[in-house]
Structure 1
Amino acid sequence: MSETLKKKLPSSDPKMTKPTRDTIISPPTGVFVPVPTFFQPASNNTLQAKIDVETQVKHSVYLARNGIRGLVLLGSTGEAIHLSREERFELISSVRKGLNDAGFLDYPIMAGVLINSVDEALEWLQDFSRAGAQWGLVLAPGYFGLAVNQENIKDWYTVVADNSPMPILIYNYPGVTNQIIVTPETYTHLAQHPNIVGCKMSHGNVSYHVQVSLDPEIDHDKFRVYSGFGQQLGPIVFFGAAGVIDGLAAMYPRTLSRLMDMAEKRPIEPKTLKEIQAIQFAVSRAEEFIGKWGIVGIKEGVYRVLGMGTLEGGRLPLRGKLPEGEWDKWEAITSRMKALEDAQ
């Protein structure tokens, strides 16, 4: 680690400057991309592949130029758990600088916090705030799975939010947290906290999306609801959700952005509704690829569609690529998405 980076990182017990009610800003509505973390080609001289900051910045700027309203760095797709503290700081600060240099000042960045310890969650948030992120996307603490009750989830998020140097969002992804589900009642409670400004639900329970998005006890200008699945975009935005944080948009940003732009307009004319339905059909079909192949599939898709990154996949244990011929099996779906993307 460079001496410059060491000086920027806070100590292990930082004195945090907490945001005040007047300085708290909620994230915008729209499509956010949970960007993958790019790595350089593997080398026999290193324990694991190094992060590829140049490609990371290039991809982020491309998304900003093509309609994406914000980024999620170092979320689950970004493999935050596979990076060191120094790498996480370098990645966020480099993307922030790259966006600024490209003219995207104050471009929205959420940063993933994927740790169960309150102290370490606050350490990550402090680092990310100094690196240039505006919000922390904080994963529900699920190591102990079903042993965790809703009251303890409320208390855990309250302690983190009370002490976080920036606003946070609740991140519920049962697939990586031993099937923890945050209930609508818990969201209603936590949405009252001034430093909790939204949530991401990465599960298929659309009823929960709708309940939280329409809850009259929640200030929806302040507390924003996002899905982790693009196949839910049209339906949940129609019923009040703020948007999606979606991996398919890493490859086809203009198409997902177009879908979002039309879905949030009111009233929806019959001609517009027909286009929404056509794009949503194509997106939902393409999301089957994301659901099957996850991070490895997203990285290969970005490489094949945009020519960015490599076919190396992620870091161990996710290193690898699609089986031979697998991408070709999805040709009918990817061709439809390419035609939509080119038309935007």
Structure 2
Amino acid sequence: MPQDSTVPPEGVFVPVPTFFKTSPASPSALQAALDVPAQCQHSIHLAKNGVRGLVLLGSTGEAIHLSRAERFELISGVRDGLTKAGFPDYPIMAGVLTNSVDEALEWLGDAKKADAQWGLVLAPGYFGNAANQENLLEWYTLVADLSPLPILIYNYPGVTNNIMIGLDTYTKLAAHPNIVGCKMSHGNVSHHVQVSLDPTINHTKFRVYSGFGQQLGPIVLFGAAGVIDGLAAIYPRAVSRLFELAAKRPVTPEALQTMQTWQFIVSRAEEMIGKWGIVGIKEGVYRELSIGNLQGGRLPLKGSMPEGEWAKWAVALDAMKKLELSVD
């Protein structure tokens, strides 16, 4: 499929957790400071191991727990680290998690100055279904009209009072020249498939990503561009190889069987991510990659998994580790 330079590449993106040090930056600070060196170390590891791009400061990145200055510091710091490591144009989406049009544009302006290429803009769901489809269409259109970056629609009902972007709304927004894709972080596979296969959408200019690696094989087989997946923060090569298996054409019986085997292992491990979220991802990155610490996120997400909890997932995670080590 031809690649438009303004459109994110197909493949696996990682919603990167934000790393924090174990102590505040100053005596007056209330929470632990950003750990930009750890952030860069992890981002470079992902870039070297099959991941096609990063989502910085999305939901997993705790953007709502950071100040404006911290958000800029993190994006610009990672960009600088990637450039010094030999990845100067590595794809970065910046999360935009605010309900105000003016603030969304402020976040997008800052992201552009920090050298992100796209904004991943969360649906404004504070008021839930009171935000009807007509108003969502107008909200996204206004943001896209004025955004200095191309944007993607981010539909995550779990953090937006169960608001869902309608299929007709996707079709209309996909025609906007500054809207280049969407991320659906929900279990409605039919929506992923319908938007991915909609014949009225130009799929060279509008890409569909899932937020769940559990859906990777099925949705990529039916036209989706890939996933933005938390498990890949820990096992990037394995999840990226599953994408390659699903994207390769033609799909031979042997390839399908291999894909099914890998998808089962990935889906089983994703259960840990589903239960423990940011805390589980950070624990996995620390245990498997020796990056970060076991402090977790900022309040109210501070802390680690309970003692013995990681061991309960040994069967699933050991299988993932075996896949990870099997990829050249």
Asked if the contact 1:24/1:167 (under 8 Å) is kept, the reply is no
1:42 Cα deviation after fit: 2.9
Matched residue SS, 1:272: helix
Q: Deviations over 1:208-246 (max 9, x none)?
A: 000000000100010000000000000000000000000
Aligned residue number for residue 297 of structure 2: 314
Aligned residue number for residue 28 of structure 1: 9
Q: Deviations over 1:248-305 (max 9, x none)?
A: 0000000001001111011012221111111100000000000000111111111011
1:174-189 to 2 correspondences below 5 Å? 174-189=157-172
Matched residue SS, 2:54: strand
Matched, 1:106 2:67: no
Aligned residue number for residue 54 of structure 1: 37
Matched, 1:38 2:23: no
Q: Distance in 2 between matches of 1:275 and 1:216?
A: 30
Aligned residue number for residue 314 of structure 2: 331
Q: Distance in 2 between matches of 1:227 and 1:194?
A: 21
Aligned residue number for residue 14 of structure 1: none
Q: Distance in 2 between matches of 1:271 and 1:146?
A: 45
Aligned residue number for residue 263 of structure 1: 246
Asked if the contact 1:35/1:247 (under 8 Å) is kept, the reply is yes
Matched, 1:144 2:127: yes
Matched, 1:278 2:278: no
Aligned residue number for residue 60 of structure 2: 77
Counterpart pick for 1:226 among 178, 196, 209: 209
1:37 Cα deviation after fit: 0.1
Q: Distance in 2 between matches of 1:306 and 1:268?
A: 33
Q: Distance in 1 between matches of 2:48 and 2:5?
A: 26
Matched residue SS, 1:42: strand
1:105 Cα deviation after fit: 1.8
Q: Distance in 1 between matches of 2:141 and 2:67?
A: 26
What residue identity is the alignment partner of 1:170? I
Q: Distance in 2 between matches of 1:89 and 1:24?
A: 24
What residue identity is the alignment partner of 1:251? I
1:80-99 to 2 correspondences below 5 Å? 80-99=63-82
The gaps in structure 2 that reach 5 residues or longer are: none
Q: Distance in 2 between matches of 1:24 and 1:140?
A: 25
Counterpart pick for 1:244 among 227, 233, 253: 227
Q: Distance in 1 between matches of 2:168 and 2:193?
A: 13
Aligned residue number for residue 206 of structure 1: 189
Matched residue SS, 1:309: coil
Counterpart pick for 1:298 among 275, 281, 296: 281
1:24 Cα deviation after fit: 6.4
Q: Distance in 2 between matches of 1:300 and 1:270?
A: 37
Matched, 1:170 2:138: no
The gaps in structure 1 that reach 5 residues or longer are: 1-22
Q: Distance in 2 between matches of 1:176 and 1:276?
A: 31
RMSD over aligned CA atoms reads: 1.0
Asked if the contact 1:24/1:195 (under 8 Å) is kept, the reply is no
Q: Distance in 2 between matches of 1:144 and 1:208?
A: 22
1:170 Cα deviation after fit: 0.1
Asked if the contact 1:37/1:77 (under 8 Å) is kept, the reply is yes
Q: Distance in 2 between matches of 1:88 and 1:235?
A: 34
Count of aligned positions: 322
Q: Label 1:328 to 1:176 Cα distance change in 2 as closer, same or farther (>3 A).
A: same
Aligned residue number for residue 326 of structure 2: 343
- Taking only the aligned residue pairs, the percentage that are identical comes to 71
